A and B are shown apart, each in its own frame.
Chain A
């Protein structure tokens, strides 16, 4: 009763205060309680993270042991399998750790063991779990799911195709990589499905997957140099250069008449890298109409495949400072090498 009367008294004195003071006290109290709440929240967040680290370590150890048992024990019992499945149902963290462990095992094993891992992965229901995520999960989980499926080379192309046109760049990126990593041949067939330009980031990852994940025959990149998307066309021209596909030079030459300056620039760079010196007259044929980026590339081509006189004879209009600098540099290099 005393407290109630004290509170009433306080309330009465508060009401008697001028407006500004009342406002300040209210705001001050509000801020104070928010501080207390946030401090408590921050500290609990930190402790929660520390606990998760401990829990994760224990999960990692136990799950790695279980996968090892499956891979290396001659008699793997039904009981062990159901223990694993029950373990996965423990909580979301256990499932996350299990998925990570499967990825680690996939990285470290080859051949027959990979097949066994895939089988086990499907058997314990993780593949179905990921398919469910793909069907109705959050986009972040979908990205992870596609990544895991492609690393484990678990195929479900039908489910994956729509993701190639997804508005979320990260999903599209993982779907692209999925098709390369899981392909046995023709790893770039998916390019026909693309409707949005490739970013440089995606191009780099496609290149990496082709070089280090895909194990089939190197595709013929010239097949896609006339793709409707400029970035796809440019990417394939670059790959012709990177994989030294001299057999594609014939298909590249007509692209020198290409109106798209970015594509033309890439073609010239590729012909230069492949050292196709007899392409120089064709490279020079539209010089006057070319933009400065192409002209700059032509100067580089001459400094690599041509000679000093050829450069001087270009008769370029050097109004653009970048062009002039490229020209002077080429002159300097050709002079010092001749």
Chain B
């Protein structure tokens, strides 16, 4: 027979310890995010980006966009990329063994022809069948790689191999970039002084319900469905609070795969994207940072809080479950690959703060929560629940979750206020109250499933079906 009182006591103390750590972490995150956002706003108070578009000194960028069966939207997306405000860039579309007519569409629309110029494989990838360039001078910056299927990481490596320029910007081909996204994201590289900038990332915003015409964002709207709104809150928390704070203390471990810029030579030196993990974006940055620390080269990772990249989040639970499953596996795999960094003072902030945080609060948290729920169910079935304890625990957790979301809304309001309508603020506040009850348990379960799949050796990305933006 389980000694319930003892278990309650242990559980309660652990809970208090955990909540104190979470609360302190949350306070610190808010504080550092606030400082970072304030500094960013102050530093950019009179920023003039026109000179960047008129100079010949701007570093050229290679945009890498892997595509797998994107036939429906690929032409519109490439057209949108071609109109980005930047003086020198090439777009490399990597057709990763699509089984639809993506390649044929690209060849016909952009009048592509085979390119036989020399190539060098800095990194091994699945076989590249052909490289195409346009016959038309108006699409001279477009390159299409046709290769056998090898997954997103492999496709990106093929793109890095072929990239002409020193900076590579890796994007998801179905994302909508702001017209000045490249100009803004390149800034950390331009402002580098004594420390080498190895990568820069930006905030990813949610495009569901927004008005998008010809691949360009025309009007920002609050997502109509609750599930997308809940994800909006998650993104606020993750980007405006989490990553801004990590950026402040130089502890950023991830640059979103949807939009990030890297020093190409360092990516190659680090060995490129890891094809054995589904969390290739996080894993690459961790490996690059590790490499710089080992080489004792002063470096930094830039982070731009402006909304630069808009993406559609899943509104269908099946697709959401696959996405979260993949994120959970990616996180666990990266932590496992770099387990030696955990609590290792050699890696300073990364070893002592970032990796422990990811271990306890990103990877372990859903598992702890799940075990907690199982334990609670056991107590209910055995009629051993102390309802006074349980309800008081529930109240404190619930309000802490809501507070966290409301603080994230404050940061949105303080920084870039994309949702101008006062009604939208109230809708977001309402979503903050509902999210812990109606949405969070789902994503917790999807993360648990991700871990189960990881241990049962299930791999793969899972199909991500999008509704599409075209109006």
Residue pair B407, A38 in contact (C-beta under 8 Å) = yes
Residue pair B46, A35 in contact (C-beta under 8 Å) = no
Contacting A at CB under 8 A, from B157-206, are 187, 189-193
Complex CA–CA separation, A50 to B45 (angstroms)? 20
Interface 1/0s, chain A 309-320, versus B by CB < 8 A? 000000000000
Q: Count the B residues whose beta carbon is within 8 Å of the partner chain — how many?
A: 51
> Is residue A43 contacting chain B, with contact meaning CB distance below 8 A?
yes
Contacting A at CB under 8 A, from B376-411, are 388-389, 392-393, 395-396, 398-400, 402-403, 406-407, 409-410
> Is residue B51 contacting chain A, with contact meaning CB distance below 8 A?
yes
Residue pair A24, B396 in contact (C-beta under 8 Å) = yes
> Is residue A137 contacting chain B, with contact meaning CB distance below 8 A?
no
> Is residue B422 contacting chain A, with contact meaning CB distance below 8 A?
yes
Contact A204-B52, Cβ < 8 Å, known A20-B392, A25-B395, A43-B425: yes
Among B16, B56, B400, contact of A20 (Cβ-Cβ < 8 Å): B16
> Is residue A192 contacting chain B, with contact meaning CB distance below 8 A?
no
> Is residue B214 contacting chain A, with contact meaning CB distance below 8 A?
no
Interface 1/0s, chain B 425-465, versus A by CB < 8 A? 11001000000000000000000000000000000000000
Report which residue of B120, B265, B398, B417 has the largest number of chain A beta carbons within 10 angstroms of its beta carbon: B120
> Is residue A299 contacting chain B, with contact meaning CB distance below 8 A?
no
Residue pair B45, A45 in contact (C-beta under 8 Å) = no
Residue pair B50, A208 in contact (C-beta under 8 Å) = yes
Residue pair A144, B413 in contact (C-beta under 8 Å) = no
B residues in contact with A129, CB < 8 Å:
none
Residue pair A143, B406 in contact (C-beta under 8 Å) = no
Residue pair B117, A329 in contact (C-beta under 8 Å) = yes
Q: In the complex, how many angstroms separate the beta carbon of B39 from the nearest chain A beta carbon?
A: 10
Q: In the complex, how many angstroms separate the beta carbon of A189 from the nearest chain B beta carbon?
A: 21
B residues in contact with A122, CB < 8 Å:
none
Report which residue of A43, A169, A201, A205 has the largest number of chain B beta carbons within 10 angstroms of its beta carbon: A201
Residue pair B406, A147 in contact (C-beta under 8 Å) = no
A residues in contact with B58, CB < 8 Å:
204
Contact A238-B57, Cβ < 8 Å, known A34-B403, A143-B46, A170-B43: yes
Residue pair B120, A321 in contact (C-beta under 8 Å) = yes
> Is residue B3 contacting chain A, with contact meaning CB distance below 8 A?
no
> Is residue B98 contacting chain A, with contact meaning CB distance below 8 A?
no
User: Which residue of B is nearest A22, CB measured?
Assistant: B392
Residue pair A199, B399 in contact (C-beta under 8 Å) = no
- Chain A interface main SS type: helix
Among A140, A144, A201, contact of B191 (Cβ-Cβ < 8 Å): A201
Interface 1/0s, chain A 4-33, versus B by CB < 8 A? 000000000000011011011101100110
Q: In the complex, how many angstroms separate the beta carbon of B109 from the nearest chain A beta carbon?
A: 27
Complex CA–CA separation, A199 to B193 (angstroms)? 6
Among B55, B193, B402, contact of A197 (Cβ-Cβ < 8 Å): B193
A residues in contact with B409, CB < 8 Å:
42
A residues in contact with B46, CB < 8 Å:
143-144, 147, 174
Interface 1/0s, chain B 105-138, versus A by CB < 8 A? 0000000000001111010000000000000000
> Is residue B318 contacting chain A, with contact meaning CB distance below 8 A?
no
B residues in contact with A204, CB < 8 Å:
51-52, 55, 57-58, 190
Complex CA–CA separation, A204 to B192 (angstroms)? 13
> Is residue A246 contacting chain B, with contact meaning CB distance below 8 A?
no
> Is residue B257 contacting chain A, with contact meaning CB distance below 8 A?
no
Residue pair A31, B392 in contact (C-beta under 8 Å) = no
Q: In the complex, how many angstroms separate the beta carbon of B73 from the nearest chain A beta carbon?
A: 33
Among B48, B56, B187, B410, contact of A42 (Cβ-Cβ < 8 Å): B410
Complex CA–CA separation, A332 to B403 (angstroms)? 62
User: Which residue of A is nearest B54, CB measured?
Assistant: A208
> Is residue B77 contacting chain A, with contact meaning CB distance below 8 A?
no
Contacting B at CB under 8 A, from A163-216, are 169-170, 174, 196-197, 199-201, 203-205, 207-209, 211-212
Among B51, B119, B399, B425, contact of A32 (Cβ-Cβ < 8 Å): B399
Residue pair B413, A208 in contact (C-beta under 8 Å) = no
B residues in contact with A228, CB < 8 Å:
none
> Is residue B99 contacting chain A, with contact meaning CB distance below 8 A?
no
Contact A39-B414, Cβ < 8 Å, known A23-B16, A201-B187, A332-B118: no
Q: In the complex, how many angstroms separate the beta carbon of A316 from the nearest chain B beta carbon?
A: 15
Q: Write the residues of chain A forming the contact surface with B, with a CB cutoff of 8 angstroms.
A: 17-18, 20-21, 23-25, 27-28, 31-32, 34-35, 38-39, 41-43, 45-47, 49-50, 139-140, 143-144, 147, 169-170, 174, 196-197, 199-201, 203-205, 207-209, 211-212, 238, 242, 321-322, 324-325, 328-329, 331-332
Name 15 A/B residue pairs within 8 A (Cβ), A-sorted: A27-B400, A28-B392, A31-B399, A32-B399, A35-B403, A41-B410, A43-B425, A144-B45, A170-B43, A174-B46, A197-B193, A200-B191, A201-B190, A203-B57, A205-B51
Q: Write the residues of chain B forming the contact surface with A, with a CB cutoff of 8 angstroms.
A: 12, 16, 19, 42-43, 45-46, 48, 50-52, 54-59, 117-120, 122, 187, 189-193, 265, 388-389, 392-393, 395-396, 398-400, 402-403, 406-407, 409-410, 413-414, 417, 422, 425-426, 429
Query: 8 smallest A-B Cβ distances: which pairs?
Result: A208-B51, A24-B392, A31-B399, A328-B118, A201-B190, A28-B395, A325-B120, A28-B396
10 further interface pairs, Cβ-Cβ under 8 Å (given A144-B46, A200-B57, A205-B51) = A27-B399, A28-B395, A28-B399, A174-B46, A196-B193, A197-B193, A199-B191, A199-B193, A328-B120, A332-B117
